[in-house]
Structure 1
Amino acid sequence: MRALWTAIALTAALVVYFVLLADRAVLLIQAGGVVGVGLGVAVLALPLIGVWYVVVQWQNGIKINRLAKRLEAEGGLPDTSGLPRRPSGRVDRDAADEWFARQRVEVEQSPEDWRAWFRLAHAYDVAGDRGRAREAMRKAIELGG
């Protein structure tokens, strides 16, 4: 639940930022002149791109949450509580790599199972590879709905 409130707070801060940025863009456009209008249009594009990005991230978050709830109801959520941890709280690298290898085998055996991709995404995250974790989660979303 804490992650949800953090996401809401960050989104609210971004909305304030986008509104202020759009206001400045409108002022530049109203100032007239080629440079003012050009800069105003360019600055106005930034909040539009930002809004699109935030909406896409929220949609992905909702889909991931939906898949996690389905997986939890089936009793298939990945459990890393038994893995050894460093003093920082992160999973020990060797243990994370070993756990990752098991998840990878599951995906190789069932490449069309969204559950396996979800668990692989979690394994990538535990191993510290956020980019591949996002790719695997996109695949889970694609397969699982």
Structure 2
Amino acid sequence: MKNPATRTLALVIVITLALCFYFVLLGQRGIELIQDGRVASVGLGIGVMILPFLGLWMVIATLRAGLQHQHLARRIHDEGLELDVTDLPRRPSGRIDRDAADALFAQIKGEWEADPDNWRNSYRLARAYDYAGDRGRARETMRRAVALEQREQAK
């Protein structure tokens, strides 16, 4: 597996399968606690039974978001609108230098402000937030880009 995408996919599959196995074990433990019949055990069993459902919901939501983001990344690549960060100075860790990331962010934010309802601009702004180290705003803006792109597709 020399292709990084193949390695990533394999890792996602392995982790998802491991989590599913863990969820089954949690469910079995919850059933055992409920079958014990004592009030405390039943209460704990119900609580434990909720965990696999929450975990499954989180796995599905995460995989769905990842697939949506990958879809947008492919479209941006195909349209030649990816952010070019190859010439930006980097720290020894490989991350983009903070001042360079902030300058890139300022440029991309200006483009976004000119047309905030274009999913391409929101996608690029999300990537600029990520490069600038603001992961929370990057996720929020990427969700906006996904919603805008889906609205565009529905037309």
TM-score tier by shorter-chain length is over 0.9
The amino acid that maps onto 2:119 is W
Q: Does 1:60 align with 2:48?
A: no
CA RMSD of aligned residues (A): 1.1
The amino acid that maps onto 2:69 is I
Q: SS in structure 1 opposite 2:93?
A: coil
Deviation digits for residues 7-32 of structure 1 (CA, Å, limit 9, x no counterpart): 22222221121111111111101111
The match for 1:46 among 51, 67, 73 is 51
Length, aligned pairs only? 145
CA distance in 2, matches of 1:96, 1:109: 20
CA distance in 1, matches of 2:65, 2:76: 16
Task: Report the counterpart of residue 87 of structure 1 in structure 2.
Answer: 92
TM-score, length-scaled by structure 1: 0.95
TM-score, length-scaled by structure 2: 0.89
Deviation digits for residues 47-94 of structure 1 (CA, Å, limit 9, x no counterpart): 101101111111111111111111111111122111110111010000
CA distance in 2, matches of 1:44, 1:117: 39
Task: Report the counterpart of residue 34 of structure 1 in structure 2.
Answer: 39
Which moved further from structure 2: 130-139 or 68-77? 68-77
Q: Does 1:24 align with 2:29?
A: yes
Q: SS in structure 2 opposite 1:136?
A: helix
Q: Does 1:3 align with 2:18?
A: no
CA distance in 1, matches of 2:114, 2:9: 34
CA distance in 1, matches of 2:98, 2:10: 30
The amino acid that maps onto 2:60 is V
Task: Report the counterpart of residue 69 of structure 1 in structure 2.
Answer: 74
% identity of equivalent residues = 51
The match for 1:109 among 104, 107, 114 is 114
The amino acid that maps onto 1:96 is A
Structure 1 residues without counterparts, runs of 5 or longer:
none
